[in-house]
Structure 1
C-alpha cells in the first residue's frame, strides 16, 4: 500500500463530520474538551475496521477516558514508513468511542491505534489491526456474511472457547464481511447458567447491562460492549473490514416504527414507546460499530459500497421505513419504503460492477411470523399474486428486469439456519422478474431454529437447507453458520459456499456471469 501526504489530504476532503459517534477525517481532528484525567489511557474494547471504500477505510476504537485517538497506517506490519493520522477526541458524549477514516490505496492496510492523554502524558499501549483495501483489476475477492450474535440466552462461555465461529471466519482470510443484522440482542437478557438437554451447563459471562432488556442509552451501549469482551470477535473485527447493517434485536424483537409495547412483552419494559427505544438503539449502534453514516443515503443504514471492478454491495434497511406488522395483505404496506425501493432499483441499474450483492436484513420468500396473526418479513403465506409488502418487492424485482440488470445476488440471515433459495418466474404467481438466488446464513452465535416454510409468490425453491433438530439449539450443537462468496479475478464466476461454524463447506454452487 502506497501512502502519501497527497493521498491523505484527498481522503480528508471526502466529507464532513456526521453520525452519532465521534468521526473525523485525517487532518480535521476535533478540539480537545475540558475533560482531562491523569494517567495512561487504555483501549478497552479492541479496534475494528469497516466501511472500506475506494481510497480509504474506517478505523474504530474506544478508550477508558477522554483522550485523542491517533492512528498510524502502513503497507507492512513492521510499520516502516508509517503515516500518522491524528483523530478525534474521545468523550463521554459518544461513550468514549471514535472513528477515523484513513487512506487505503491497495493491498492489505496495517493500522496501529493509540489514545493520547489530553494532558500530554504517555499514550496508551497500541493495538494493531489490518484490512483489505478495495481490490483492483485481476484480484480475487472473498466476502463473508452472516448475522445474529448473543441471542436466545447464549452469551460468552469462556470454558467452551467463546464465540469460536469468528476465529474460524478470520482463519479463512476474507476481504470483506457483511454483517446482516442482529449485531446484538438488546431484548435478550442472559442468565448465569443454562442447562442443555444432555446435562451440560453453559456458563455465561455476565455484565449488568446483559441482565435485563435494554432501555436506557447506557444499557444499549452495554450490549455492544459485552460482545466485544469475546477474544474471537475482537480478533475478527481487527482484521476484516466490515459492512454492518441492523435489524430488530438492536432495539427489540420484531419492532416497527410507532409501535407501543403491550402484553407480556410490554411487561418487561418501563419505556414502552418503541420510537424512543429505537433512537437510543440507533445511537449506540452507530457509536459502537465501524460504520460511517455519511455514506448512507439517509444518514442511517442503507447505502451502496463499491468494492473493486467486479463487486458492489447494496445494503438495505428493512426496519426503519416498514409499515406495522400485520396480516400483510393490505394496499400500501411497506418494508423498504418508497424512497429506498426506488433507490435500490436505480442504484443497481447504475452499477458498473459485474456482481451486484444485495445485503438484505431479512429473506424474501421465507415465512417469518410475528405472533399468531401477523408477519414480520416480506412473505405473507397467501398463494397468488403479490399483496402487502410483497407488492413492494415485486416492484423492485420488476424494475430490475426492466432495467436489464444482470448478476444480482441476494444474501441475508435473520432466520437462524442456512439455506440456498432459487427464485424463478416459471414457478411463481408473479412472473415479471428474472431468476435469481438468495443465500441465507446464520446464526453466528445464537439459538438455532428452522427451517421455515417458503411462500410461493416469487417461486422459491430450497436447493439446500440445514437447521437443527430442536428449536433454540445452542452453539455447542453445531448449527452456527456463515456464508462465503468467492469472485474470480476476471469476474467470470462467483463461487458460493455455505459453511458451518468450523469453516467446513456444507454446500456450494458456482454462478457464471451473464
Structure 2
C-alpha cells in the first residue's frame, strides 16, 4: 500500500484548504462498521448520508479530486440536508480495481457544517494515465463507488482521450436521461460548461405544455437556498451516474447565480438589489461545496478562482474560462441588438487578468490540441441579412474586441489546433472561426463545437440544419440542431472527432440517444468537416418547417431565457 502524500486530503470546514494525513493502518475497511448506526443516531445521524452520490474532478498526471457531501434529507429547507450541526469524520479509500479489493490510498476527512458537510480530497502520487475507483464511509454507511482516472504523463500523448461536454440542465424542463446516456458512453473526462442548476422558483421558467417536475423552495438567493437547489439536482440518479462515471471539469455560466449576471451587476440593474453581492457570495460558496474542485477554487467572499488550466499530457491542454465574474455588463440592455457598445475596444468578457493568463497559456503551450472550455457562443452569429448586425449581447458578439484579441493571440502564438467548446444556447452548433467574419473568404483559424442543453427548453425539434437562416447569413456556421443532448469527442494526435448526440424527448424519461451528426477536425487543418448527418426523422418531417423569420425568432426566444 502506497503511503499518503502531502496532498492526500483536504479538510473542508475546520480550516478551509488545510491538508492532513492519517496513517493507513489506523483505518478500517469501508465494509467494516467502525461506529454503529445506534451510535450515529445518538449524534443525530439516523440514515444514509450519501444521498447526493460521489464525484471526481480536475485530474492531472498523478491525481485528482474526489468529492461527496453528506445529506440524508437533501431537500431540507435549511440547506443542511438533514445533517446535525456538528462535524463528522468521513473515511475515504481509493482502489486500483473496480471491485474495490486493492486499496492504494485511504484517509479521513472532516465534513463540517461550515462547508455544508462537503468533502474534497485531493490526491497525488498516483500512476499516470490509468483508472482508479473510490468511495466514502461514515459508520456503517458506504457511498456508491465512483470511477476516476489520471491524465497521461506531461511528456506522453497517451492512447487518446474520450471527452464529452454538456451544459444547461433545467430540472423542471425534463428528465436527466442525457446524463445517464453520457455515463453509458464511458468517457475519460466530462466538461460541464455552465448552467448546472437554475435559480428559479417553480412555474417561473416554463415550457409549452407545462414543466414536468418542480423546483423545491424559493428562487435561490441565500446560502440555504443554493444548497437546497444543488442538493435537489445532485439527488437525481441520472446525474449521479454521470458524476460517478468519470472525472469532471466544471465552470459556471449565469444560472448558478442569477440569469445574465455580469461581475457585480445583477440581471436587472434598474431594480434596486442591495443584497446582490451577498447572493453572489452565497452562490459561489454553494457551488464550491457541491463540485469536485481543488483548494485553489475555495471562494473568498464574493471572489472565486474558477478559470484554470488542465493538461492531458502532450495531447491536449484545457483552458477553462470564467466569462461571468469579470465581464463588463452586457451592452444595450442585453438581448439581440445592433449595439455600438459591442465593438468598444475597452470592453471585455474575460477581464484583463484572465485575458493575459489565456494569451500567456497560448504562447507556452506545446499541446497537440488547445481546447478552450467556456460558456457562451464564440463565433459571430448575425441574425439579420441586411446591413444591420443583430447579435447576442450576452455572447462574445457583445465583446467583439475581446474576441479579436484572443483569436489573434492564438494565431500569433501559432497554436497548433485551437478548439472552442461552448454551452448556453440550448442547441447543437458547429462552426469555423475567423479573424474577419464579415469576409467569408478569409482563412479559417479555429473551430467551435457547441453542445445543446441536457433539458432546458423541453424536447425541442429535429430539423434539417440547412433550413436555419443563421447558416445562410453566417457561412462560417456549419451545423445546427434543436434537440436535447450532449457531445462526445474522441481526441487523437491526427484528429478530433465529435459526435453530436440527441434524444427525441426529455419530457419523458428513458429515451435512447443517437448521433445526429459527426464532425472531424484534422490536425493542423482549422475548421470543422462534416462526415455524417442522420436524415430528418420522418415523424418530424410531417410537421411543417417554420419560415426563416420564425426560425430566427425561435432561436432568439430560446436563448433569451427570460421568464
TM-score tier by shorter-chain length is 0.7 to 0.9
TM superposition shift of 1:132: 2.2
Would the alpha carbon gap of residues 452 and 227 (structure 1) be closer, same or farther in structure 2, given more than 3 Å must change? farther
Would the alpha carbon gap of residues 338 and 192 (structure 1) be closer, same or farther in structure 2, given more than 3 Å must change? closer
Counterpart among 354, 378, 401 of residue 411 in structure 2: 401
**Corresponding residue number in structure 1 for 2:497:** 495
TM superposition shift of 1:142: 0.6
**Corresponding residue number in structure 2 for 1:126:** 143
Would the alpha carbon gap of residues 205 and 331 (structure 1) be closer, same or farther in structure 2, given more than 3 Å must change? closer
Counterpart among 199, 202, 218 of residue 224 in structure 2: 218
Distance in 1 (alpha carbons) for counterparts of 2:15 and 2:68: 11
1:462 aligns with 2:480: no
Give CA-to-partner distance per residue, 1:442-472, whole Å, 9 cap, x none. Answer: 201211679795898xx761111112xxxxx
Counterpart among 480, 483, 486 of residue 482 in structure 1: 486
Q: How does 1:80-159 map to 2 (within 5 A)?
A: 80-103=101-124, 104-105=126-127, 106-115=129-138, 122-135=139-152, 137-150=157-170, 153-154=172-173
Distance in 2 (alpha carbons) for counterparts of 1:25 and 1:172: 35
Distance in 2 (alpha carbons) for counterparts of 1:111 and 1:134: 17
1:204 aligns with 2:219: no
Distance in 1 (alpha carbons) for counterparts of 2:274 and 2:259: 13
Distance in 2 (alpha carbons) for counterparts of 1:460 and 1:423: 11
**Corresponding residue number in structure 2 for 1:176:** 189
**Corresponding residue number in structure 2 for 1:383:** none
Counterpart among 173, 192, 202 of residue 190 in structure 1: 202
3-state SS, counterpart of residue 189 of structure 1 = coil
Distance in 1 (alpha carbons) for counterparts of 2:18 and 2:169: 29
Q: How does 1:242-281 map to 2 (within 5 A)?
A: 242-259=248-265, 262=268, 266=271, 273-281=275-283
3-state SS, counterpart of residue 45 of structure 1 = coil
Distance in 1 (alpha carbons) for counterparts of 2:520 and 2:59: 26
3-state SS, counterpart of residue 9 of structure 1 = coil
TM superposition shift of 1:177: 0.5
TM superposition shift of 1:76: 0.5
Would the alpha carbon gap of residues 377 and 76 (structure 1) be closer, same or farther in structure 2, given more than 3 Å must change? same
Would the alpha carbon gap of residues 84 and 17 (structure 1) be closer, same or farther in structure 2, given more than 3 Å must change? closer
Counterpart among 256, 276, 292 of residue 290 in structure 1: 292
Counterpart among 90, 113, 124 of residue 69 in structure 1: 90
Would the alpha carbon gap of residues 206 and 295 (structure 1) be closer, same or farther in structure 2, given more than 3 Å must change? closer
Distance in 1 (alpha carbons) for counterparts of 2:256 and 2:14: 15
Would the alpha carbon gap of residues 432 and 26 (structure 1) be closer, same or farther in structure 2, given more than 3 Å must change? farther
Would the alpha carbon gap of residues 71 and 460 (structure 1) be closer, same or farther in structure 2, given more than 3 Å must change? farther
**Corresponding residue number in structure 2 for 1:357:** 371
- Kept in 2, the 8 Å contact 1:175–1:241? The answer is yes
1:228 aligns with 2:234: yes
Superposition CA RMSD, Å: 3.5
Would the alpha carbon gap of residues 348 and 46 (structure 1) be closer, same or farther in structure 2, given more than 3 Å must change? same
Would the alpha carbon gap of residues 98 and 460 (structure 1) be closer, same or farther in structure 2, given more than 3 Å must change? farther
Give CA-to-partner distance per residue, 1:315-364, whole Å, 9 cap, x none. Answer: 00000110111133334111001111111111122122211110011111
Between Structure 1 and Structure 2, how many residues are aligned? 454
**Corresponding residue number in structure 1 for 2:454:** 444
TM superposition shift of 1:39: 5.3
TM superposition shift of 1:190: 2.2
TM superposition shift of 1:137: 3.9
3-state SS, counterpart of residue 87 of structure 1 = strand
TM-score by length of 1: 0.79
3-state SS, counterpart of residue 305 of structure 2 = coil
**Corresponding residue number in structure 1 for 2:396:** 378
Q: How does 1:313-332 map to 2 (within 5 A)?
A: 313-327=318-332, 328-329=341-342, 330-332=344-346
Distance in 2 (alpha carbons) for counterparts of 1:296 and 1:432: 43
Q: How does 1:35-74 map to 2 (within 5 A)?
A: 37=44, 42-64=49-71, 65=83, 66-74=87-95
Distance in 2 (alpha carbons) for counterparts of 1:393 and 1:82: 47
3-state SS, counterpart of residue 181 of structure 2 = helix
- Kept in 1, the 8 Å contact 2:452–2:485? The answer is yes
Q: Which moved more, 1:122-131 or 1:479-488?
A: 122-131
- Kept in 1, the 8 Å contact 2:11–2:121? The answer is no
TM superposition shift of 1:487: 1.4
Gaps of 5+ in 1: 30-34, 116-121, 156-161, 381-388, 468-478
**Corresponding residue number in structure 2 for 1:32:** none
Gaps of 5+ in 2: 24-41, 72-82, 333-340, 384-389, 462-467, 504-511, 525-563
Would the alpha carbon gap of residues 460 and 355 (structure 1) be closer, same or farther in structure 2, given more than 3 Å must change? farther
- Kept in 2, the 8 Å contact 1:9–1:27? The answer is yes
Distance in 2 (alpha carbons) for counterparts of 1:154 and 1:304: 33
- Kept in 2, the 8 Å contact 1:367–1:379? The answer is yes
Would the alpha carbon gap of residues 301 and 432 (structure 1) be closer, same or farther in structure 2, given more than 3 Å must change? farther
Q: Which moved more, 1:290-299 or 1:53-62?
A: 290-299
